[in-house]
Structure 1
Amino acid sequence: MSLPEDCFDYEACLAACAKGERRALHDLYTQESARLLGVARRISRSDALAEDIVHDAFIKIWTRAGSFDSERGSARGWIFSVTRHLALNFMRDNANTLQVSEQSENALLAEAALVSATQADTFEYSARSGRIFGCLEQLEPARRNCILHAYVDGYSHSEIAQKVGAPLGTVKAWIRRSLVALRECMG
């Protein structure tokens, strides 16, 4: 439950984040995540994108908390500025990204399955032992590559979408559905 803004010490929270105190990040998240989500949602006009933006904003707040300068403004203002800039940058960088409805997404998935069947698999497996490799092999190459880019290479959903040339919503759906399939296979 968040406190009234005048009762929460944003500056001390950022200083604690700069020292690596995870509890401070948790407190900051509890205090401001809902409002930051609102800011990101107004800019992106998408719940899913807003959630990604707020996630990225908290990572940036955590890693850059030491750069906050109280001489230049309030700690709360800095937090909102980080989020707002990330949202605006994301929207600018992805201005040409296709917005996909659920029906369009299903059509794209079907088309991508056909295309992926003809594309070469971009990942080589040096060790083919173990259940996980068998489960990964059961995934379509495009979906398998998205999973591996996310969990092996550490790419964000946006980076994966650019790398594979697919809309962001499609990549998110592939990853979500592939994780379900992997859980069932490993079960």
Structure 2
Amino acid sequence: MPELDPADPGAARRLDALLEQVATGDRQAFEAVYQLASGRLFAICLHVLRDRGDAEEVLQDVFTTVWHKAAQFDRGKASAMTWLSMAARNRAIDRLRAAPPRPLEDIAVAEEIADFAPQPGQVAEQASDRERLDDCLDTLEPRRRSLIRLAFLDGASYEELARRIGSPLGSVKSWIRRGLGQLRVCLER
């Protein structure tokens, strides 16, 4: 029996009927389902697993499952090919997840992987910069210091800040602008 032709609606209906017969224990129907669908299901397994041996094993598992669970197929929910394809894809993904991670074949590849973590010198510089910023913030009057922290460290908008403290928007902007000017002078020392 040839493989299923996706363009032939009659073939899809025939596969639906065959799968329903498999649910009754019909071995000839099971063989026909295998003949019609195994090529496509193998391709799905191979696409997911990228290993021919694993794909063959998963395909065998899929058809064992089909034999035992064909009664769960519901033509009203999906076509037989869709049901079979999902079973193959899910089983292949399960196999992929269960496999231990493959070791790097060449440790030199690890050297090419970018390391975005800050280097020790950068960490020290950032800590020093943060300490200087904190020291300069401490020189500001409390209201300006609080507004700058909320605006630039917590991400609050000027409008939010004005509502929170019950002051006009223009005043909040002015206090923050003056505070930033004082910070710049302090940090440039």
Normalising to structure 1: TM-score of the pair? Answer: 0.50
Higher radius of gyration, 1 or 2: 2
